[in-house]
Structure 1
């Protein structure tokens, strides 16, 4: 159903000239140059013509094509008559991308647990219901290189639609590394209790690898729980650190 809906929306954008600026073709045809670029960028044969091949797409193929098209869409603004057909000569790239994104998100939000095409052109999983604010909340400014940028990268890695269990594992591991970086400050604030923050990562094969660690657990479920647990903990620790800094003479 998602593929059928995508194809209908794609053909509407195609017919109305939203891919004419980059293809050099009249509306209604994607253009051989864009199809060739799609093969170069995605390294996948037999994806085009999209309207003919999309029924055989895997989920990964479909998401790749949506992200690719987002980079090439532009809204036609002015028309001209050329050899018995209408062509476009003026385009607005930003409006075209926004309209394409809005249309795709109406389809993606109802697929499985819900996805969205971001402003940067990446299809991302929706955050867990009820935890959206935690994912979107900005961290208190502290150390951009070692904290904020690493946390932002971990969130993106975790939410990417093709994020395998290995990708989710890496995201949890990255958050555990941020906590390790903050550990000296945390220890000074909460004494010996800081070691409890690392027990989950230590015992469930996240930070180290040894025979004493637990491996026989449902990783799809527990990686999600660990990710949000560590993200919330980082937020709490940074707020404690900033509060202590503000109270110091």
Structure 2
């Protein structure tokens, strides 16, 4: 379904980018409350019954301790008490943990006495997580450089606009050990929201290693000069090796650019190889 855009967004007045952390805090509280009101955390946190008292969920009764054990941080739970003190790292940690805890209530019994409400016994975790991802991603895509909550519940860099499709593009199955799995690891390193500059450089190095593996296979389909230029970039800019002749005074924008160049080149190489090898 195409995402709905409202008037100010459609005409470019409110593009929703680069809002401050104060806004992010309010939006995360609002999102949590939205799902809490719909009982999407009943399986995890349990329910207080007017007759039976507190009935615990799988987190037990000590929610504060549970959050401390999982996140190794104080002053996180209850969210309503501490959200105004959250850093963006705190918020991303909470998002990932809530993703693990959420589930959509499906079946149960309604307890009418004292308006106690629904006691659910069957939950759909995958559906709850998908609905949570949809709401969260509408928020964090516009925070700072842009983020996304992945299908397995990790907050990742969204990627440069116009190029982020490459980060999600599926490469044709070719060589799981030397190509396919290595690409997945490199992209994960590059997109982690806490990744350092050196970790991103390491992700580029991983892509160069894949190119090196594909190099002898692609030689007959690729111009020699084009091929050598790709490796000259990696070798001369302190990515693959380190010596006094290499250049290393460059910023993250350059590293981002070369990551996308190498990733798109690997996609191209694999498709070319698949095409020609299928004919032999």
What TM-score do you get using the length of structure 2 for normalisation? Answer: 0.80
Name the SS for the 2:162 alignment partner.
Answer: coil
Deviation of the 1:110 alpha carbon: 2.0
Deviation of the 1:124 alpha carbon: 1.7
1:76 aligns with 2:92: no
Gaps of 5+ in 2: 1-22, 50-55
Tell me which of 195, 210, 220 is aligned to 2:228: 195
Distance 1:215 1:31 in 2: 51
Match of 2:201 in 1: 169
Tell me the C-alpha RMSD between the 2 structures: 2.3
Gaps of 5+ in 1: none
Match of 2:26 in 1: 4
Q: Give yes or no for contact 1:74–1:96 (8 Å, CA) kept in 2.
A: yes
Q: Give yes or no for contact 2:149–2:156 (8 Å, CA) kept in 1.
A: yes
Deviation of the 1:213 alpha carbon: 0.6
Distance 1:120 1:170 in 2: 23
Distance 2:127 2:267 in 1: 35
Q: Give yes or no for contact 1:35–1:49 (8 Å, CA) kept in 2.
A: yes
- Counterparts of 1:175-214 in structure 2, within 5 Å, are 175-190=207-222, 192-193=224-225, 194-214=227-247
Q: Give yes or no for contact 1:23–1:34 (8 Å, CA) kept in 2.
A: yes
Distance 2:212 2:67 in 1: 42
Distance 1:214 1:13, change over 3 A: same
More helix by share: 1
The Cα offsets for residues 189-232 of structure 1, whole Å up to 9 and x where unpaired, read as: 446433222111111111001111101111x1111011001001
Tell me which of 167, 187, 190 is aligned to 1:135: 167
Distance 1:164 1:47, change over 3 A: same
Distance 2:194 2:153 in 1: 14
- Counterparts of 1:54-73 in structure 2, within 5 Å, are 54-73=83-102
Name the SS for the 1:231 alignment partner.
Answer: helix
